[in-house]
Structure 1
Amino acid sequence: MNLKDLDVFVSVVAVGSLAGAGRRLGVSAMAISRSLAALETELGVRLMHRTTRSISLTPEGEAFLGHARALLDLGEAARSSVTSDPEIASGTLKVTCPHLLGRAVLVPLLGELQRRQPSLQVELILSDDLIDIVEQGIDVAIRLAHPKDSRLVGRKLSDNPRALYAAPVYLERHGAPGALGDLSQHQGLRSLAMTSWPFMVGDDLRLFPIPGRFACSSAEGVKEACLHGMGLAMLSYWDVEAEVATGRLLPLSLADAEAQNLPIWALMPSSRNVPTRVRLLIDELRQRLQTAPSAG
């Protein structure tokens, strides 16, 4: 079975069009169509319905998709096993990550990785939504909190220290809370999906309803509102590392509670035949994240 034809099939599914897959692979849409036809002829089934505007998988195509991805991973592992340098990464690294963590940590790390690995292509999806990485053909997802999808293989990279933060201008106007009960007298900033701040009081988890009048659909918007002095926000150390270093945001400590820390995980569709590009990313990301302090 021709691995190039398999790559075409998987790419068309990922991108959603023949033309898009052609741009991704650097070939014409006609070449993409020929590869698909050759693969379907070899298998003796129709894998997808395709028009000039859209594609959709047949039941046979849906059943074959996972096997095609596995065969491509196996081919990559076979190439890596005989290369003169097992630290050489090639192919396309497809990774997804939340916006703030991705922009602050992953983008510069991927740039450095590509500088050392000239054959490595990268496709980065920044999204705070839980993307189905199996369906989308993504190599690895960087996620906050414990994984919930039992289909995925998880590797914990680091803790994700969080704290309450505020801009100096807000603290000048309203002062700093000293204890958990003081928070009700302050303006809290939250995402639409988050109605309570999680705190640890000793060994107990306590959810404190977020006071205030501002909510945003994205963590980026919450951080921006915090920078403008609109209120307090619970943010990750990685979200605000640069702003804290320059004094634009200040971490707050409560006498009787600490923000609950959540782990950062790398999630993959399988632990078998992990490509070199994925292994190198995980190793370097773990090393970078472990430079964080234990608290905000």
Structure 2
Amino acid sequence: MDIGKIDMAGVAVFVNAASAGSLSAAARRLGIAPMAATRRLAALEESLGVRLMQRTTRSVSLTAEGEAFLPFASTIIEAAEAGRAVVFPTENGATGLLRVTACNSIGHAVIMPLLSRLLDENPSLRIDLLLTDTLVDIVSTGVDVAVRIGDLKDSSLIASSLGINKRILCASPTYLARRGSPRTLQELTDHDCVVTTGTLHWPFNVAGSEQAVRITGRVTTNSIDGVHNACVAGAGLAILSTWHAVEDIEAGRLVPITLEDAEPKELGIWAVYPTRRQILPKVRVFVDAVRERLS
């Protein structure tokens, strides 16, 4: 490879195509025509004297040379973006495309409501928000920051705290009228609980320590939104994040339940980054906005 002949436009296409899986997707991210993306990648390969990607009509895959070059190319793009932010600060705030992923619950309740203000304050900022309850590999997909709830498993990623997810045990008035309200953890086992698919236990704080309580119920669903809706409909008890339950509690659609001997475990909320390098302004303004809203 002749590193001295690297074209930044071609490198940007290569990095985005590698994470997005196709040249057309890379073109959309960069705001250029698909044909322009194809030409830029071809020019980069010609200048380096190697083939970086195998192309089909719908997807791309890295060659051995492409896999070797990708970490270097990603570093070039990150360094260039950080350098522009330092050398050419703008009065218009953060710039560029910010790629964010989060689970559906916090995405709809916390992130979506702050997007309008964030975009107004940063006219040159664009946001690509992926909401999914599936854990996303933020390194391979090119995500700038992930908002995650709970214990972090991957020690190779960098994380900073955004706040605490305080959760509420609750049920609908119709369910409580039919089954009564539990007063202790022991009584909880006699109730129907609505949970996400595969959940067998709920974690509680009991006298300063964590205790997992086995729960049962007749309704499970693959999303926390489904749990929320089923709980409001009277299918059973549920543990919901404050932001998910508060409006329904205020409106009388849900009733908070306080146990005498335990309370639902609070979970950490984290901003997770794929790299230890400098946090770019577009990431920083987003993280600050989420942290402020959660506080």
TM-score category by the smaller chain? Answer: over 0.9
Instruction: Look up the match of 1:61.
Output: 66
Instruction: Look up the match of 1:223.
Output: 228
**TM-score, normalised relative to structure 2:** 0.93
Residue 240 (structure 1) aligned with residue 213 (structure 2): no
User: Deviations 1:21-65 (Å, cap 9, x if unpaired)?
Assistant: 223333222211111111112222211100212211112222322
Paired residues for 1:168-179 under 5 Å:
168-179=173-184
Q: Secondary structure at the match of 2:205?
A: strand
Residue 89 (structure 1) aligned with residue 94 (structure 2): yes
CA distance in 1: counterparts of 2:85 and 2:91, whole angstroms: 6
Q: Secondary structure at the match of 1:20?
A: helix
CA distance in 1: counterparts of 2:61 and 2:42, whole angstroms: 15
CA distance in 2: counterparts of 1:104 and 1:215, whole angstroms: 22
Instruction: Look up the match of 2:78.
Output: 73
Q: Aligned AA for 1:28?
A: A
Residue 4 (structure 1) aligned with residue 9 (structure 2): yes
Moved more, 11-20 or 127-136: 11-20
Q: Aligned AA for 2:230?
A: A
| Contact 2:144/2:273 (8 A) holds in 1 | yes
User: Deviations 1:123-177 (Å, cap 9, x if unpaired)?
Assistant: 1010111110001000000001122112210001101111211112212222211
Residue 45 (structure 1) aligned with residue 15 (structure 2): no
Residue 285 (structure 1) aligned with residue 290 (structure 2): yes
| Contact 1:86/1:276 (8 A) holds in 2 | no
CA distance in 2: counterparts of 1:220 and 1:259, whole angstroms: 18
Instruction: Look up the match of 1:131.
Output: 136
| Contact 1:96/1:125 (8 A) holds in 2 | yes
CA distance in 1: counterparts of 2:89 and 2:141, whole angstroms: 32
User: Deviations 1:92-133 (Å, cap 9, x if unpaired)?
Assistant: 100000101100000111222012211111110101111100
Say if 1:84 and 1:133 are closer, same or farther in 2 by CA, change over 3 A: closer
Say if 1:50 and 1:164 are closer, same or farther in 2 by CA, change over 3 A: same
Instruction: Look up the match of 1:167.
Output: 172
Instruction: Look up the match of 2:200.
Output: 195
Query: How many equivalent pairs are there?
Result: 290
Q: Aligned AA for 1:196?
A: H
Give structure 2 stretches of 5+ with no counterpart.
1-5
CA distance in 2: counterparts of 1:106 and 1:39, whole angstroms: 37
User: Deviations 1:249-275 (Å, cap 9, x if unpaired)?
Assistant: 222110001111110000001232211
Give structure 1 stretches of 5+ with no counterpart.
291-296
The runs of 4+ residues in structure 1 deviating greater than 6 Å are none
CA distance in 1: counterparts of 2:32 and 2:200, whole angstroms: 48
Q: CA deviation at 1:238?
A: 2.3
CA distance in 1: counterparts of 2:249 and 2:78, whole angstroms: 41
| Contact 2:93/2:123 (8 A) holds in 1 | no
Moved more, 243-252 or 41-50: 243-252
Moved more, 66-75 or 116-125: 66-75
